[in-house]
């Protein structure tokens, strides 16, 4: 079996001749990382908080769930919380200079409440964790999850700001930090970038938001500018605070996502994005097709494909 590489020539050749081999190798690479990280977490043998941060469409939800499942296989009871559930009510979120709400800032979170909850968990106390309603833009009043950490239990907390010292420095207890992202580009053999890291994440988000959030391509492009601004300002400066980094790239993903992405990109999109749209179309058209049916049901890509 040939070595997995991020050259488009290799990806296309394998996708055409043996797509299942390419998929298997990509999935196995990611599974091996999850198993290794989970073993490290479980090896500590004490109550702990795992902070998991990553940019948009990096696969935070799936990665947190898979680490949770793997830890449970190793006999460690594990919970998953999202920082998004600690949002302030929409009317209380800070304003940007143009008067719009800054949903990307760490100060859009109820920091004091979060600190109180997490430190109580680390003391072994029973807590009621909030559930945020993104339709109403408020915290649900009579709905919550009850959690108590045993002496060797783990809680995984995922979100954009999970590595920010404004949050982590106030946690009193055993802390393990993970940064995940798409950390590979796809090149051709001449060294030209075909899809960069943000391109790959954008394609994931384009498909997911169209299918599951009713977002047009134009709306996704409009949001993307603020999303990447938030990443540059609030996430990337802290990624080196992580104890370990996980690359969630699945090199066959353009082959699977291209059909749906190209269809979405045929819709009406503002001229402001015309150059980016054409570049993305040109790049995706360079990849061989792989039918979505071959993607495993538990693949990280199912977070975007469904």
Tokens of 147: 């959690």
| Domain assignment present for 102 | yes
* 306: in domain: no
For residue 277, the model assigns a pLDDT of 97
Residue 226 has what pLDDT?
A: 86
Taking 50 as the pLDDT cut, the residues of the chain under it are 1
**Which residue segment(s) compose the domain that 178 sits in?**
8-296
User: Is 130 within the bounds of a domain?
Assistant: yes
Residue 183 within a domain: yes
Judge if pTM exceeds 0.75. Answer: yes
Q: How far apart are CA 281 and CA 258, in angstroms?
A: 9
For the record, the structure tokens of 221 come out as: 């492009």
232 domain residue, yes or no: yes
Judge whether 3 lies within some domain. Answer: no
Residue 2 domain-assigned (yes or no):
no
Unique residue bearing structure tokens 């540059």: 232
Q: CATH number, domain at 196?
A: 3.40.50.300
Tokens 């420095």 belong to residue: 169
Q: What was the pLDDT predicted at 2?
A: 57
- Select from 287, 293, 295 the least CA-distant residue to 13: 287
| pLDDT in the model for residue 110 | 96
Q: Is residue 304 part of a domain?
A: no
Count of the separate structural domains present in the chain: 1
> What pLDDT digit, counting tens, does each position of 132-143 carry?
998 898 999 889
């Amino acid at each position: 079996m040939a070595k997995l590489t991020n050259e488009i020539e290799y990806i296309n050749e394998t996708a055409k001749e043996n797509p299942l081999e390419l998929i298997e190798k990509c999935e196995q690479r990611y599974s091996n990382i999850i198993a290794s990280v989970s073993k490290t977490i479980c090896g500590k043998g004490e109550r702990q908080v795992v902070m998991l941060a990553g940019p948009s469409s990096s696969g935070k939800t799936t990665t947190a769930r898979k680490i949770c499942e793997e830890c449970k296989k190793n006999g460690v009871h594990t919970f998953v919380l999202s920082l998004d559930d600690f949002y302030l009510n929409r009317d209380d979120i800070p304003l940007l200079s143009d008067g719009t709400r800054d949903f990307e800032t760490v100060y859009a979170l109820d920091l004091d409440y979060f600190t109180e909850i997490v430190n109580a968990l680390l003391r072994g106390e029973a807590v009621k964790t909030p559930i945020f309603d993104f339709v109403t833009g408020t915290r649900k009043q009579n709905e919550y999850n009850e959690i108590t950490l045993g002496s060797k239990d783990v809680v995984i907390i995922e979100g954009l700001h999970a590595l920010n010292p404004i949050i982590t420095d106030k946690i009193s207890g055993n802390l393990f930090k993970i940064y995940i992202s798409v950390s590979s580009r796809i090149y051709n053999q001449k060294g030209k970038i075909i899809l960069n890291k943000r391109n790959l994440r954008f394609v994931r988000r384009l498909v997911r938001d169209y299918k599951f959030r009713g977002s047009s391509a134009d709306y996704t492009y409009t949001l993307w500018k603020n999303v990447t601004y938030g990443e540059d300002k609030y996430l990337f400066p802290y990624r080196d605070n992580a104890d370990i980094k996980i690359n969630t790239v699945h090199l066959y993903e353009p082959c699977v996502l291209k059909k749906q992405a190209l269809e979405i990109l045929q819709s009406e999109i503002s001229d402001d994005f015309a150059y980016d749209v054409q570049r993305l179309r040109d790049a995706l058209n360079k990849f061989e097709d792989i039918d979505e049916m071959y993607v495993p049901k538990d693949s990280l890509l199912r977070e975007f494909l469904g």
